[in-house]
Amino acid sequence: MKDHQDRGETRADGLLASTMSGEPIKDLYTAADIQEFDPDMPGEYPYTRGIHRSGYRGRLWTMRQFAGFGSAEQTNARYKYLLANGQDGLSVAFDMPTLMGQDSDNPTSRGEIGHCGVAVDSLADMETLFEGIPLDQVTTSMTINSPAAILLAMYLVVAEKQGVSWDRVGGTLQNDILKEFIAQKEFIFPPEPSMRLVVDTIEFCAREVPRWNTVSVSGYHIREAGATAVQELAFTLADGFAYVDAAIARGMDVDEFAPRLSFFFDAHIDFFEEIAKFRAARRIWARHMRERYGARDERSWKLRFHTQTAGVSLTAQQPELNIARTAVEAMAAVLGGTQSLHTNAMDEVLALPTDRSARIALRTQQMIATETGAANTVDPLGGSYFMESLTRQMEDGAEAYFRQIEEIGGVIPAIEEGFFQQEIADASFRYQAELEQKKRVVVGVNDYTGGNDEDQLEILRISNEVEAAQVERVRRLRASRDAAAASKALEQLRRAARSAEANLMPSLIECARAYCTEGEMMGAMVDAFGLYTEKAII
């Protein structure tokens, strides 16, 4: 429709008329835009309209707020508070030393302990974290990647000690190492041994922990690092396919593990683009799983996903506005059919949320679920000229990226070549330039700044006592545990890591039982796998 406005066009107020990702969109969509539209039904392949026929009438999404700070005791208290306020599942945020696989008494942990999550050095901390929370009655999501297998091992031992058998334990491990190389940068081992560990957890859980979601293939961090919506969609699904390829290469049947792969997307502020992205993701995954990988189990075709509203869209200026932003983003996630949702608190751009701001964030979801009517009708935008057309546009954009990645030789060669990193850096710089030229507006940042000088919010501060106490705790643990059992378990892990054949999960579980620390287990694996460093691309 050449008579309508297209890419690069600006509106009367001077702003770009494309989506925030730069996707060209028109000012009007009509039946002519969806002539090839092939309507499908919710709950039916390829699931564009959702994986459940009854949408949210049958079951609401899970309200799962990511939380963790300070010591295991403090976080345990926050979890009990959230559960008492109607939250359904737990989501653990670990601190930077834990995410990077190092103990609290490592010199480079200084200043970082308990700041952006909870510090977990050993099984002892994990036991405290879930004290009084029966693991057969909650599901737990753990945001951890390079050391994911270690934290899973600790969690399984906590369940064991609570008398909960592993087949009744449910939850999700992020365990998505590929996006670490691409965007979040919490890598430790090189890509190949990192992938081996991911496949070890996939294989182990398929046999022993059947309700566990082994990988949460994550676009969130890719998007937050500056990617566009299409890049988030394409790179995330490409990572998902890479895990499928790796598990098949291990000798597994696709239907043995694919139903336990789940996804994690960002919900950014460009409302319709986000909904289209979620719809396209389901359709692409279903098609590839069925047609390319020959999956026969319908559960392997269904893309299930968690969503978090966009941290990067929050502004330090007039932070109360973030409540409104988060509500719009959460609504997009719901209209896009998310299975679970985290809504950011208004003060997360300044610090970890206070109890009050965390409650407001949870209440925002509860409002959408109960007051707005959004949960009453499944895929209410299905059939819209604009929505169906934009969904197709997202899908076409992703397929074009899949071809490019394939030409490079796959996801790992593309990481090593810096392809993703360059694409994201370019997109983020382009967006920043558009903001500076005021072709895009962020309220309170580059326009409507009246009120920016008002008093700041009260923020949560983590005291330095947490750090000193945690350092002391891990030192005391090393001195008081059965030293022979710990060193025997670590030796066994070291041997298993050197053998290409062994699945490392049983050795890691043995180490967890013996109260080996996270840093010790990582160290044993680094001896075999080495460390990865990246070439920085700007």
Residues near other proteins (CB under 8 A) are 96-97, 99-100, 108-112, 115-116, 180, 184-186, 224-226, 312, 315-317, 349-352, 425, 428-429, 432, 435-436, 442, 444-446, 456, 459, 462, 533-534, 536-538
Min CB(186)–other proteins separation in Å:
5
Look-up of token digits 């049958």: 58
B/e letters for 208-228, b = 16+ CB within 10 Å, e = fewer, are: bbeebbbbbbbbbbbbbbbbb
Min CB(234)–other proteins separation in Å:
19
Min CB(464)–other proteins separation in Å:
9
**Contacts (Cβ under 8 Å, ≥6 apart) of 484:** none
Compare residues 131 and 426 and give the one whose CB is closer to other proteins: 426
List the one residue out of 160, 166, 87, 154 whose CA is nearest residue 118. Answer: 154
Residues 262, 306 contacting (CB under 8 angstroms) = yes
Compare residues 109 and 470 and give the one whose CB is closer to other proteins: 109
Residues 268, 329 contacting (CB under 8 angstroms) = yes
Chain CA centroid to CA 103, Å: 24
Min CB(109)–other proteins separation in Å:
8
Element (H, E) at 215: strand 215-218
Compare residues 23 and 112 and give the one whose CB is closer to other proteins: 112
Rounded to 10 degrees, the C-alpha dihedral 318/319/324/329 comes to 130
Compare residues 212 and 419 and give the one whose CB is closer to other proteins: 419
* Token pair belonging to 351: 């610090």
- Phi/psi-derived region of residue 101, left when phi > 0, alpha when psi is between -120 and 50, beta in every other case: left
Compare residues 102 and 141 and give the one whose CB is closer to other proteins: 102
* Token pair belonging to 271: 């409302």
Compare residues 407 and 455 and give the one whose CB is closer to other proteins: 455
Min CB(313)–other proteins separation in Å:
11
Min CB(344)–other proteins separation in Å:
13
Strand partners, 306: 264, 340
Compare residues 96 and 142 and give the one whose CB is closer to other proteins: 96
Chain CA centroid to CA 219, Å: 7
Min CB(22)–other proteins separation in Å:
16
